[in-house]
Amino acid sequence: MFWQQVVNGLTAGATYALVAAGYTLVFGVLEIINMAHAEIFMIGAFIGLLLVTGTCCPVWAAVAGAMIGAGLLGWALERLALRPLRKQGVSHLAPLISTIGVSIFLMSLAMKIFGPQSVRFPASVEPRFFNLFGTVNISLLQIVILGISLALVAALKVLLARTRLGKALRAVAENPEAAGLMGVNVNSVMAAAVVMASALGGAAGVLVGLQFNAVSPTMGIAYGLKGLAIIIVGGMGSVAGAVAGGLLLGAAEVLAIAYIGSSYRDAVAFIILIAVLLIKPSGIFGKLEGRKG
Amino acid sequence: MDLLNVYHLQIITFMAVNSILALSFYLPLSAGQLSLGCAGFMSIGAYTAAILSLHYGMPVFTTIPAGAAAAALAGVLLGFPALRLTGVYLAIATLGFGEVVRVLFLNLKITNGALGMPEIPNLNDYFSALYRSWGLQGGLAGLDLPRLAALTTVVFCYFVLAACVAFVLRQENSRTGRAMAAVKADEVASGVMGIGATYIKMLAFVQGAFLAGLAGAISAHVTNFIAPGDFNYHRAVNILLFVVLGGSELVWGGLLGAAVLSVLPEFLRFMQDFRWIIFGALLAAMMVFRPQGLIDRQLLCRFSLRKKPGMDGMDARSSSGEVD
């Protein structure tokens, strides 16, 4: 029973990790909290839903389509709401507020188009179960979710570590001015960070839609709040921290539901957050200098 | 007289409550603390007032201060761990505090869980009963009793608001207020100047919690009904928006923002279906074109009759936007 819960928790945690990786990428490179990320996640889920119901795409194509759509949305967000604020003398609260504005805009737009009720996701993966070690069952869907999530986060990690773009991203994260002087196009690198983060968010949206078999305009809020908690628990700007924090939260939530009660589920993330902040304010994988936040 | 119908009076009342909330966000911010816990403190105030008046039969004028005091106490308890954090960390931790409080109220017996608490004694009813006991059943000066009572509620709320504003303004020009400004500008430097930064931050944080609790308690007695969902993430964001839209440098900015954001949704009611879409777009556009909010020091200086020397120095510092 315990190990079954852990498997379920890790599946949920993998999608949390994917959402949190998007937050952490934007925070690491642009030093802003992208409050619209949760709504991009939700729009990604709807794009996936439309692709699956409209064209009967397989799951991987729906995920890819959602990533492209969400990525475009991220590009628009960066161009319209973030880049104009990147000038001298603008309070660092401004990007926070403008992304809140975008998030209200996207959520109410989705409300208007799709209606407030949650829509069922057609089961495009047949419910098959595999038995592990005699006691634990894992469904094909869970394997797909875990596989896609972890593959995407691993791809992000490789991109950051090995490619030219990754090097530019890390340089801008370290010091935008110095990176600019070294010939890095800071604006396009920042746009790339937002686009990549949004694409990850869109993929997470489809996977969560599949997991709970439901998509709704308000599905982003809980994931957004948890994603924020995770990046602090894991350490701001750290992809490894986002993954560790996401998996930890998924497991902790499922265990809390099993042993305490389902109604406390949404508080788990923040109880972990406050506990971690008390012990190690920079997060599990955070550097101490990250505290300047 | 049509202007004074109960619906309008209620919007005007909410304007006062929202203005107190804006102050509760402004106070920690004036000491450099970005706290999103206002919704949580507000719910503590509201639930304390509701429980005391419903379960213990305490009168309205004792439950409102009690609600504010309970929120202030929670502020002290949260402040010790939370104020070790700065900037975004503090913002998310306090937002998390609000969520934990909400889930707690959702699960407690005494708060009636997700169903919320109905039939909280209403300020209007209280004033109606008071006037009736004075023999004013027919109303006064052309106003019938419900309107007269609603009008008294409005006056009461604005009286409380005026007291809060007066307090914040007085404090800003005092030794404490200057210490807060110094901590906001540079915590380390203020420490070198002999300011106990921890004490000042705690003071501002607890004052903010007190005002949020006050607003919560009043709103519980104005709306008759509270549920945990009233104090969710949206409420926290709304309070943040009051101050940032109006202008976070000055007290007046928050008050203007609260007034605008209380009334704007009512004006946009004719396009009901699109109002939140427009609202979101307006907000993003506002940050692009006027990121410092509607009111800032410069604007105020232009309109104020007496020029204050030394204001320019303050300007340069605050416009660099160092909150953390």
- DSSP letters, A214-269, are EE-TTHHHHHHHHHHHHHHHH-TT-HHHHHHHHHHHHHHHHHHHHHT-GGGHHHHH
- Whether the pLDDT of residue B306 is over 70: the answer is no
pTM above 0.90, yes or no: no
Q: Find the farthest-apart pair of alpha carbons in chain B and give their distance in angstroms, rounded.
A: 65
Confirm if A55 and A277 have CB atoms less than 8 A apart. no
Model confidence over B41-52: pLDDT tens digits?
999 999 999 999
Model confidence over A154-164: pLDDT tens digits?
999 899 889 99
Distance CA B46, CA B228 (A): 10
Contact list, A103 vs chain B (CB under 8 Å): 280
- Whether the pLDDT of residue B321 is over 70: the answer is no
- Whether the pLDDT of residue B253 is over 90: the answer is no
Q: What is the CA radius of gyration of chain B?
A: 20
Domain regions of chain A by residue span: 13-218
Question: Do residue A109 and residue B277 have CB atoms under 8 angstroms apart?
Answer: yes
Contact list, A97 vs chain B (CB under 8 Å): 240-241, 244-245, 283, 286-287
Q: Is B96 on the interface with A (CB under 8 A)?
A: yes
Spell out a b/e string for A266-283, using b for 16 or more CB atoms within 10 Å of the CB, else e. Answer: bbbbbbbbbebbeeebbb
Confirm if B294 and B245 have CB atoms less than 8 A apart. yes
Question: Do residue B92 and residue A98 have CB atoms under 8 angstroms apart?
Answer: no
Q: Is B117 on the interface with A (CB under 8 A)?
A: no
Q: Report the pLDDT value the prediction gives residue B115, as an integer from 0 to 100.
A: 81
Nearest CA in chain A to B97: A270
From residue A253, give the alpha-carbon distance in Å to each of A14, A167, B302: 13, 36, 55
Q: Which residues are CB-neighbours of B208 under 8 A, at least 6 positions away?
A: B24, B25, B26, B27, B28, B35, B38, B41, B75
Whether the ipTM is more than 0.95: the answer is: no
Residue keyed to tokens 């903010």: B208
- Whether the pLDDT of residue A290 is over 60: the answer is no
Question: Do residue B86 and residue A292 have CB atoms under 8 angstroms apart?
Answer: yes
Confirm if A238 and A24 have CB atoms less than 8 A apart. yes
Selecting from A33, A85, A261 the residue whose C-beta is nearest the C-beta of B88 gives A33
**Mean pLDDT for chain B overall:** 82
Q: Is B84 on the interface with A (CB under 8 A)?
A: yes
Phi, psi torsion values for B136, nearest 5 degrees:
-110, 40
Q: Is A33 on the interface with B (CB under 8 A)?
A: yes
Contact list, A33 vs chain B (CB under 8 Å): 88, 91-92
Contact list, B291 vs chain A (CB under 8 Å): 85, 90-91, 94
